[in-house]
């Protein structure tokens, strides 16, 4: 046998051995069944896709041309500054968008006793101010649902008063009558507080817009809205808002604005138009609602207010006024209204103060 033939035979044998070895490995590690996905060991679930931070998408007005003036008073200097970054837990779009936190399942209404971690007590008060003939603010305190809301209307011929009233009535109906919209809406809203608040404001938006289109005198009317619902069993509060009505949290010697004004000034536009709203209830068919989730602590006071307060004074004076009133929320509300009027009283002023206490046994 020639050396060349021997070399060929050796090469062929090497190839055959290699094929046998690889076939054996393939049988020892079978491929996963069709349709299954391969996951890291001990993962238990597919890895979560990183979400964008809430501040990555600032609230830019969709149609600034539709912005309506809110007040005869001049815009404050703060209105011409860029909007501050949203606080943790805040989201500027509809539910189920990237950046939304885990849904907060709602405990049964009226949960009490050992189920509560916190208790909330609230006082609301409104005043027409010194220069307005009509009070276009409206508010509601639904203590049995731990829900509180303020609407500040705008429009000619007292139409703003109608818009704010319709919005507060829509909010009240949803919670007192157990409305969860139609079947499709019920699937979307589920039992998530976040979605329920958003859908409630969407419902109010549709009602105000329909009325403004049907009645000539109400054309162009709209309103801001800020609402907060507390979850006593989970020590959380969900804050939803559209417009420049605000929510503050007073904790110790600090005051923090929990909402970002939806004004042209807040998105960097300066000048005379800085105080115009970039977003309001009842102006357009689709509406964006900001929702913030916060974790109340015993001793906190949350303040909802129309801009009739925030434009007439400073945050530091608000904090000082509330602290000087001690635990008397009625006194604090009266003093805040007096503070706004002392600052010029150019607009209606409405406040809701909510004190958080530790539940017995918590």
pLDDT tens digits, one per residue of 147-174: 999 999 999 888 999 999 999 999 999 9
| Better-predicted residue by pLDDT, 92 or 141 | 141
| CA distances to 69, 142, 300, 342 from 123, in Å | 29, 11, 14, 21
pLDDT tens digits, one per residue of 101-110: 333 444 444 4
Is residue 143 classed as helix, strand or coil in its secondary structure? helix
- pLDDT at residue 38, rounded to an integer: 31
Q: Topology of domain 79-358, per CATH?
A: Phosphatase 2c; domain 1 (3.60.40)
Q: For the ranges 108-112, 168-172, 301-305, 319-323, which has the lowest average pLDDT?
A: 108-112
Q: For the ranges 54-63, 254-263, 285-294, 295-304, which has the lowest average pLDDT?
A: 54-63
Q: What is the DSSP letter of 79?
A: G
Q: For residue 13, how far is the Cα from the chain centroid?
A: 73
pLDDT tens digits, one per residue of 189-242: 445 889 999 999 999 999 999 999 999 999 999 999 999 999 999 999 999 999
Classify residue 276 by burial, with Cβ atoms within 10 Å: 0-12, 13-18, 19+: buried
pLDDT tens digits, one per residue of 5-37: 565 565 566 655 556 545 555 444 444 333 333
Domains of the chain, by residue range, sit at 79-358
pTM > 0.75: yes or no = no
Mean pLDDT rounded to a whole number for the chain: 77
Cα separation, 341 vs 243, whole angstroms = 22
């Amino acid at each position: 046998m020639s050396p060349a033939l021997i070399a060929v035979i050796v090469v062929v044998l090497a190839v055959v051995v290699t094929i046998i070895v690889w076939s054996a490995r393939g049988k020892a590690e079978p491929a996963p069944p069709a349709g299954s996905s391969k996951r890291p060991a001990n993962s238990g679930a597919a890895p979560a896709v990183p979400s964008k931070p809430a501040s990555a998408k600032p609230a830019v007005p969709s149609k600034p041309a539709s912005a309506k003036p809110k007040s005869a008073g001049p815009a404050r200097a703060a209105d011409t500054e860029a909007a501050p970054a949203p606080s943790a837990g805040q989201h500027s779009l509809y539910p189920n968008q990237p950046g939304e936190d885990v849904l907060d399942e709602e405990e049964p209404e009226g949960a009490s006793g050992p189920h509560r971690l916190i208790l909330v007590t609230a006082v609301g008060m409104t005043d027409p101010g010194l220069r307005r003939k009509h009070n276009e603010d409206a508010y509601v305190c639904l203590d049995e649902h731990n829900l509180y809301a303020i609407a500040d209307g705008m429009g000619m011929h007292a139409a703003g008063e109608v818009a704010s009233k319709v919005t507060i009535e829509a909010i009240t109906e949803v919670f007192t009558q157990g409305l969860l919209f139609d079947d499709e809406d019920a699937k979307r809203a589920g039992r998530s507080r976040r979605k329920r608040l958003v859908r409630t404001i969407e419902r109010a938006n549709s009602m105000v817009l329909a009325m403004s289109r049907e009645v000539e005198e109400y054309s162009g009317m709209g309103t801001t809205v800020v609402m907060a619902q507390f979850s006593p069993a989970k020590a959380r509060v969900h804050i939803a808002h559209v417009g420049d009505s605000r929510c503050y949290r007073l904790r110790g010697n600090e005051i923090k604005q929990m909402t970002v004004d939806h004004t042209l000034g807040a998105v960097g536009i300066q000048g005379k138009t800085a105080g115009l709203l970039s977003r309001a209830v009842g102006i357009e068919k689709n509406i964006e609602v900001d929702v913030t989730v916060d974790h109340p602590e015993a001793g906190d006071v949350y303040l909802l207010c129309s801009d009739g307060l925030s434009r007439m004074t400073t945050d530091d004076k608000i904090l000082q006024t509330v602290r000087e009133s001690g635990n008397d929320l009625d006194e604090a509300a009266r003093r805040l209204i007096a503070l706004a009027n002392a600052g010029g009283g150019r607009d209606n002023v409405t406040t809701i103060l909510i004190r958080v206490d530790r539940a017995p046994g918590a």
